[in-house]
């Protein structure tokens, strides 16, 4: 059994990590850290885990974490992660960071959208943890920057097609809707019940921090600069993310042709499900799972390809993908601990 710690384990992404890891066949969860809940049983904070997780939350200390674990998940806010991760790497730990701090290759791009980077050297060796794109690099990595939820939902449908001759990469518009757990557990007016219930709104229009992340990954993969027009929305559901992408077509292409690009790219990828033509993804079908469902349609009248993806923002958009990355880093089956069947409704 591999010993694993979750830093920031009482936030939404951290708690979801605790859930997934507690059912993992090759892992022993040895430590959960929290400042606010130090000394309190994890099951006091999340009573659903009573009888399943018997750990008490502890304050973070590099020494204690290093003694307790070989693999460390950091589920902390950006800026905080980059203060914690370098010490853990120096101690020889494998680290999967869920914040934005180790997702960027270009430190200047990170600094333009976030804050000064305190561990730039590590960006050279950190691997962007999208397993469907970087499987081989993840196998060798000591530090994985786990992708953002919106980028995961945008990149997975686009990657198989971005180099196709019929796609116009300068015309991509992505429109995403996220459940409110995407904003984390801290209390804020924007996620207050009365502000989100029976409401549906756009926010950070063309200015969301996940936009440069998707642009950088797609540009490196496509070998040319790509800028996506991206608008996120908040919907009154707890978990789930639905993304609709519109791409201009340079040549006539059939829905069947698009299907064959998607099918062949994802033929051996266990967590991407391509929907049959004329069935479209629904957040309900991926709830609590590590799946990304992808649907597609060619709008012949307007010469646009429409791609639709659904993920659970807390699983494939965060903690499930982080465990998938750990599985790959440690040579376990990619699906270990992540293979529970979805709820049918
Ligand atoms: N929610 C999602 O759907 C999602 C998806 C993808 C990625 N992520 C990323 O995952 C990370 C965690 O997100 P979240 O949604 O779980 O946030 P959250 O619910 O606000 O949890 C944040 C966690 O970090 C700890 N923390 C906060 N400030 C800290 C500080 N200054 N020093 C040390 N610990 C601190 C908190 O616990 P204490 O205050 O008790 O220490 C808590 O456990 C973020 O970087 C986020 O961008 C989240």
The end-to-end CA distance of the chain, in Å, is 34
> Following CA atoms 88, 89, 95, 100 in sequence, which dihedral angle do they give, to the nearest 10 degrees?
90
In percent, the amount of the chain with pLDDT more than 70 equals: 100
Tell me what the mean pLDDT of segment 141-159 comes to: 98
**What is the DSSP code (8-state) at residue 4?**
E
Write down the pLDDT at residue 9: 98
Expressed in angstroms and rounded, the spacing between residue 14 Cα and the centre of ligand 1 is 7
For residues 55 and 80, the answer to whether their CB atoms sit within 8 Å is: no
Tell me what the mean pLDDT of segment 117-135 comes to: 98
pLDDT digits (tens, 9 = 90+) for 264-317: 999 999 999 999 998 999 999 999 999 999 999 999 999 999 999 999 999 999
CATH code of 2-125, in short, is: 3.40.50.720
| 313 closest CA partner among 186, 116, 148, 172 | 148
Q: Which residues are catalytic, by number? A: 149
| 91 closest CA partner among 109, 112, 111, 71 | 71
Rounded to two decimals, the pTM is 0.97
Write down the pLDDT at residue 187: 87
pLDDT digits (tens, 9 = 90+) for 197-254: 999 999 999 999 999 999 999 999 999 999 999 999 999 999 999 999 999 999 999 9
- Mutating to test ligand 1, I would choose from 5, 7, 8 the residue with most ligand atoms within 8 A of its C-beta, which is 8
Expressed in angstroms and rounded, the spacing between residue 294 Cα and the centre of ligand 1 is 28
- Other Cβ atoms closer than 10 A to 340: 11
Domain boundaries, the chain: 2-125, 150-313
298 beta partners: 305
For residues 287 and 241, the answer to whether their CB atoms sit within 8 Å is: no
In the predicted structure, residue 154 carries a pLDDT above the cut 90: yes
Tell me what the mean pLDDT of segment 122-145 comes to: 98
Expressed in angstroms and rounded, the spacing between residue 308 Cα and the centre of ligand 1 is 28
Tell the CATH superfamily of the 150-313 domain. Dihydrodipicolinate Reductase; domain 2 (3.30.360.10)
Write down the pLDDT at residue 39: 98
Write down the pLDDT at residue 278: 84
In the predicted structure, residue 41 carries a pLDDT above the cut 90: yes
Expressed in angstroms and rounded, the spacing between residue 203 Cα and the centre of ligand 1 is 20
Q: Which atom of ligand 1 is nearest to the CA of 77?
A: 45
- Mutating to test ligand 1, I would choose from 59, 74, 76, 320 the residue with most ligand atoms within 8 A of its C-beta, which is 76
Expressed in angstroms and rounded, the spacing between residue 12 Cα and the centre of ligand 1 is 7
* Among 57-71, 121-135, 151-165, 177-191, the least confident range: 177-191
Angstrom distance (rounded) from CA 47 to CA 320 = 21
For residues 62 and 98, the answer to whether their CB atoms sit within 8 Å is: no
Residues in contact with 116: Cβ distance below 8 Å, sequence separation at least 6, in sequence order: none
In the predicted structure, residue 190 carries a pLDDT above the cut 90: no
Pocket (CB within 6 angstroms of ligand 1) = 8, 10-14, 34-37, 75-78, 80, 98-99, 148-149, 181-182, 184-186, 313-314, 317-318
- Mutating to test ligand 1, I would choose from 9, 10, 13 the residue with most ligand atoms within 8 A of its C-beta, which is 13
Angstrom distance (rounded) from CA 45 to CA 296 = 41
Write down the pLDDT at residue 147: 98
In the predicted structure, residue 178 carries a pLDDT above the cut 90: yes
Q: Which atom of ligand 1 is nearest to the CA of 185?
A: 19
Nearest CA to ligand 1 atom 46: 99
304 beta partners: 248, 299
For residues 98 and 146, the answer to whether their CB atoms sit within 8 Å is: yes
Angstrom distance (rounded) from CA 311 to CA 175 = 14
């Amino acid at each position: 059994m591999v010993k694993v710690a979750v830093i920031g384990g009482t936030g939404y992404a951290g708690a979801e990590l605790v859930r997934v890891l507690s059912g993992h066949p090759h892992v022993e969860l040895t430590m959960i850290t929290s400042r606010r809940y130090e000394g309190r049983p994890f099951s006091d904070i999340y009573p659903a885990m009573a009888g399943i997780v018997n750990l008490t939350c502890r304050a973070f200390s590099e020494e204690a974490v290093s003694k307790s674990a070989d693999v460390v998940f950091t589920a902390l806010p950006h800026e905080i992660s980059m203060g914690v991760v370098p010490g853990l790497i120096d101690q020889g730990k494998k680290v999967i960071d869920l914040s934005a701090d180790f997702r960027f290759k270009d430190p200047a791009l990170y600094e333009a959208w976030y804050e000064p980077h305190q561990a730039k050297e590590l960006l050279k060796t950190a691997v962007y943890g999208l397993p469907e794109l970087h499987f081989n690099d993840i196998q060798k990595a000591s530090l994985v920057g786990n992708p953002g939820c919106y980028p995961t939902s945008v990149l997975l449908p686009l990657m198989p097609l971005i180099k196709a001759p019929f796609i116009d990469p300068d015309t991509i518009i992505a429109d995403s809707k996220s459940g409110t757990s995407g904003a984390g557990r801290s209390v804020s007016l924007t996620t207050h019940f009365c502000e989100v219930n029976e409401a549906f709104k756009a926010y950070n229009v063309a200015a969301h921090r996940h936009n440069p992340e998707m642009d950088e990954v797609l540009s490196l993969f496509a070998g040319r600069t790509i800028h996506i027009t991206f608008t996120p929305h908040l919907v009154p559901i707890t978990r789930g993310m639905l993304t609709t992408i519109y791409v201009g077509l340079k040549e006539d292409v059939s829905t069947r042709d698009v299907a064959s690009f998607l099918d062949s790219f994802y033929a051996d990828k266990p967590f991407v499900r391509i929907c049959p033509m004329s069935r479209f993804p629904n957040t309900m079908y991926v709830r609590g799972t590590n799946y990304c469902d992808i649907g597609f349609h060619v709008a012949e009248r307007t010469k646009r390809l429409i791609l639709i993806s659904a993920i659970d923002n807390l699983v494939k958009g965060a903690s499930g993908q982080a465990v998938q990355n750990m599985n790959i880093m440690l040579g376990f089956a990619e699906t270990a601990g992540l293979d529970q069947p979805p709820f049918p409704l």
